Structure 1
Amino acid sequence: MSSAHQRQMSRPRKESAMASTTPTSDKYDEIDDFINATVTQEDPQQRQAVADADAAGLPHIQVAPNQGKLLQLLIEIMGATRVLELGTLGGYSTSWMAKGLPSNGELVSLEFSPKHAEVARANLERCGVNDRVEIRVGPALETLPKLDEEGGDPFDFVFIDANKDDIVEYVEWAAKLARPGALVVVDNAVSRLVDTEPDTDDPASRAIWKVYEVIANHPSLDATAVQTVGHKGHDGLLFALVTE
């Protein structure tokens, strides 16, 4: 464990003035339901995309609706026209981000599993955004160098929601393929920190600990992370701005 980590973990937690009314996990779920029923505005085609992914046996690990809407809004706020996604799964998060793009926008999504890609393509067609999405099948660490070799326009926004063992390499590639001013968002960036230490034997958890150190010392990234609660449990998102 680094000395910085020891100092942070040894600091006493401040008592919250609202500690006596801290919501239970059930209440967090109820609040998520309220948010999703009002401002999130998930459409029926997206709900069906989740149902079809479940029916096909895909793992139920897609982003929550309000998190998907956050990705859409970030893309719209930035005026992004080119988006890179690592980890398509059933295309649910892909559909949200594609909705944030203009009609001439492009989203390149990398997916390891041909089965997942097949389900995602059908879902994206149903959602009416397939014309903006290209799914590339294969290991991301093989596909990313090919994107670099193609020499296309840099990406404005990168969402990383793939296997965590290779998260450090994914972030390095994101910084390389994105333009200055682009935003990189990493999903599931907190939950593995709860029950592990930096020297854990679990490769995925060890990689999550490491990616914080890598980003903190990266010459081209400025970042923070936020903890989240709700239907996805206790987790968080890591946000990194590409500065040069």
Structure 2
Amino acid sequence: MSIASEHSGQPGSSDGKTWKAVDDYFYSALFAGDHDLEEGQRASEAAGLPAISVSPAEGKLLRLLVRGVRAHRVLEVGTLGGYSTVWMAGAIDSPGQLVTFELDPRHAEVARENIDRAGFGELVDIRVGPAAEGLRALLDQRPESFDVVFIDADKASNALYLDYAVRLGRPGTLIVVDNVVRGGRVLTAADEASAGVRRLVDTLAERTDIDATAIQTVGSRGYDGFVLAVVTDVDQ
């Protein structure tokens, strides 16, 4: 039976309640309870941080990607409370390092507590301040290349962050950019964040040193998606 015929006539659902129920089903089947991650989410909520971290499913995906490429060095743009940071740190090959940028000092403080609680304090370097400035300073240090880059910060600067990700990477570096569908608003660029995603996509379409795709997602966090890209060449 072809894929088309297998799915023909099958009812679908765009119901957010169903999306959450499916997320919960897979979570109960495939996710072992992680006290540190759950405690970190509770601590972030208690501290008043916005509930915009990655979902558990995407966090687990990030961990699997880091593990799959046997990454030693991971770069993150947008720490928030450190939830995605802890997911990725748990898969880094030793010796390794995760460098993460956070604009808000309060968010960085909460993230530091969560990361330390999870046992990754020595592995994770949190740098506080505007990411563009921090990435420029990091590039000036000429560090060892990063194996995985996760971008989840202000969407208006996505294209700039992508450029730094390539320059701080190497051929084979994996790049993930979150929140690129934005409930479908990417089609109209009706807000600055969606316009930033459009600039990112235009950049990906023009560059010859990156191979990329975009995946739409639904789940407990609603309708969104992410870009998955691989660096094919680096021109320093």
Give TM-score, length-normalised by structure 2. Answer: 0.92
- Contact kept, 8 Å, 2:184 with 2:224, in 1: the verdict is no
CA displacement 1:104-140 (0-9 Å, x = unmatched): 1110000001100100010011111222110000000
Aligned pairs for 1:56-67 (under 5 A) are: 56-67=47-58
Counterpart code for 1:93: S
CA RMSD of aligned residues (A): 1.4
Distance 2:9 2:72 in 1: 42
Alignment match, 1:241: 230
Aligned pairs for 1:14-163 (under 5 A) are: 17-22=8-13, 24-163=15-154
Identical-pair percentage: 42
Counterpart code for 1:74: L
CA displacement 1:48-94 (0-9 Å, x = unmatched): 10111011011000001111010000011101100000000000000
Distance 1:20 1:170 in 2: 40
- Contact kept, 8 Å, 1:109 with 1:133, in 2: the verdict is yes
2:101 is paired with a residue whose SS is strand
Give TM-score, length-normalised by structure 1. Answer: 0.89
- Contact kept, 8 Å, 2:44 with 2:110, in 1: the verdict is yes
- Contact kept, 8 Å, 2:171 with 2:231, in 1: the verdict is yes
Distance 1:194 1:145 in 2: 30
Q: 1:19 to 1:191 in 2, by over 3 A?
A: farther
Alignment match, 1:216: 205
5+ residue gaps in structure 2? 1-6
Counterpart code for 1:80: A
Alignment match, 1:194: 185
5+ residue gaps in structure 1? 1-15
- Say whether 1:175 aligns with 2:160: no
Counterpart code for 2:231: V
